[in-house]
Amino acid sequence: MKSPGWTLRNRLRLTFGLLSVGLVVAIGLVSTWWLGQGALDQLAALSQEEVHEFSVLFDTGNRSDELAKSIALQLDAEHIDVELGWRVKPAGAPVYVIDPHGLLPRLPAGGLQDDGPVHLERGVVAFGMTTQEGTRVELVLDGMELVDRLRGFEWALVVLLLGALALGCSVGEFASRRVAAMLAGVASAVRAQRDAESPLEVLLEHPPEEVREVAEELQRMLERIRAENESARVMTAGLAHELRAPIQNLIGETEVCLMSEREPAEYAGVLGEQLGSLHELADAVDNLLALCRDRQTTEPTRAERFDLTHEIELRSGRWRRSAERAGVDLRFELGGGLALDGDREAILRAVRNLVANALSVSPVGAAVEVCLRGDAKSVELTVDDRGPGIPATERTRVFEPFYRGASAAGKRAGYGLGLALVRAAVDAHRGSVQIEERSGGGTRFRLTLPRAGGATPHQGLGAA
C-alpha cells in the first residue's frame, strides 16, 4: 500500500535535513569542547608562567614583604584581562598575602597540597610551587573575562552553524526539487506512451548519470517489449498459416464428399486424404508444442540409444503417402546399422520437418531424395529438393521461427516452425546443419549428428 506523501522528494528533504542537523550539532559540540579546553589550557599555562616569573624575581631579591607586593602588583598590572591573587611563604618567614581582588578564599582550606595547576571553578585556576630556596608560592588566577569572550565567540559560532544549516536545507530542497522534477518527467513520458510501438520521448536537460541511466533503461525495456510483441505477432500469424492449410483441405474435401452419393471406395479415398491432412495438422501442433517446450524447459535432453535407419523406415510409409498427395516422388537411400545416442523424439522431428519442407516446396512431378549415411563418429542426413532455392542472404534466418524472407512474395511462402526445430535439435546434440545450392535448381539440407555423447542440456530455440 502506498504511503501518502512519502515521495522521493520528501525522503531527500528528510535526509538532507537530518544530515545537516547532525553535522551542525557535531561541529558545534566539537568546536565548543575544543575552544573551552583550549581556554583552560591557556589559563593553566599562564598561571604556571606567572608563578615561575614571580619566583625568579622574588628569590633573587631580598624576599621581603614589600618585594612580594611590588612583584605581585607589577604582574597584575601587566595582565588586564585576568585577575591575580598571591600567597607567598618564604622559608623561615611569615606568609605574605597579596590579594587585591579577593581571590584567595577560593583556595582549599589547607592550601594547595601539590605543585601544578588546579582548576577551582569555571575560569579560575590555581597554581602552587616550592622554589629551590624553599619559598612556597601559590597563585589564584581568575580568567572569567577570557571565558566570557570565548562565550561570545561560541554564540557567533552558533549563528554561523545555523546559517550553514539553513543553507544545507536550501540546497537539499533545491536538489530534491530537481531530482523529483526529472523523475516526474520520466514518469510523465511513460504515462504519455500510447502503445509499445510509439517511441518513448524523455526530454531531460543535463540529467545526472543515474537519472539518464533510468531513462535509457526504460528505452531498452520498451524496445524489448516491442521485440516480444513483434515475435508474438509473427508467431500468431505463422501459427494461423501452419494450421490453415490442413483445415481448409479438410473442409473442402468434406464439402465435396457431401455434395452427392458416392461409392464406399470413394468415401475411403476421401477419408484417406483427410487422414493425411489430419497428420499434417497434428505435425503442426506437435511443432508448436515443441517450440513452447524448448523455450521454457531447462531440463537435460533425454538421451537414448536408437537406430536412426530403422526409425526412418518405420515412418517412411506415411511420408510417401504425403508425397503422393503432393505429386512428388520421394526416394530414400538409407545406410544400415546407423545407431546413435540422443533425443529420439527431437531428432526424428527434425528429419520429418526437413522432409515436409522439401515436399512443400517441390513442384509436381519433381523428386525429393533423402540420403542417410554415416561413419564411426557421425551420421549424415541429406534432403534434396527441386524447389525455388533459398537465397544465400536468408540461409541463416530461415531457422528462425516463422521467418518469411524476401522470397515469400515469390514461390516460397515461408518456413514456419519446422526449420527452427531442426536447428534446435541439431544444436542440442552438438551437430550441424548446412544449406547448399543444388546444380539444376533446388536446395540441399545437410544435417550431421555425432553418434555418441552428443546430447546436451536444452538450449531452446535460437541458442548458439
b/e per residue 24-43 (b: at least 16 CB within 10 A): beeebeebbeeeeeebbeeb
Q: Domain holding 122: CATH number? A: 3.30.450
Total domains in the chain come to 2
Q: Of 154, 188, 220, which one is at a domain's C-terminal end?
A: 154
Residue 1 lies in a domain: no
190 part of a folded domain: no
| Residue that terminates a domain, selected from 124, 154, 184 | 154
Give yes or no for a contact between 411 and 417, defined as CB atoms under 8 angstroms apart.
Answer: no
Q: Residue 62: inside a domain, yes or no? A: yes
Residue 200, domain member (yes or no): no
If one counts every other C-beta atom within 10 angstroms of the C-beta of residue 182, the result is: 21
User: H/E element holding 358?
Assistant: helix 344-361
The number of helix segments (H) and strand segments (E) in the chain equals 8, 12
Q: Which residue, of 97, 120, 154, is where some domain finishes? A: 154
Query: CB within 8 A of 56, min separation 6: which ones?
Result: none
Look up residue 248 and give its amino acid.
Answer: Q
d(CA 140, CA 99): 9
pLDDT tens over the chain, length 464 residues: 455 556 666 777 777 778 877 887 888 788 777 777 777 888 888 888 888 988 888 888 888 888 888 888 888 888 888 889 888 888 888 888 888 888 888 888 777 777 778 888 888 888 888 888 888 888 888 888 877 777 777 777 778 878 877 887 787 777 777 777 777 777 776 666 666 566 666 666 666 777 677 777 777 787 787 777 776 676 666 666 666 766 777 777 677 777 777 777 776 776 766 676 676 666 666 666 655 565 544 444 567 899 999 999 998 888 998 899 889 999 999 887 788 999 888 899 899 989 988 998 899 999 999 999 988 889 999 999 998 888 888 888 888 877 765 544 444 444 467 888 899 889 989 999 999 998 888 999 999 999 875 555 444 444 32
Whole-number Å distance between alpha carbons of 463 and 294: 10
Q: Is residue 169 part of a domain?
A: no
Residue 414 burial class via C-beta count within 10 angstroms: exposed 0-12, middle 13-18, buried 19 and up = middle
In a domain, 458, yes or no: no
Segments forming the whole domain that contains residue 23: 8-154
Say if 52 falls within a structural domain.
yes
- Report if residue 255 sits inside a domain: no
Q: Are strands 124-130 and 116-121 parallel, antiparallel or unpaired?
A: antiparallel
- What is the CATH classification number for the domain harbouring 307? 3.30.565.10
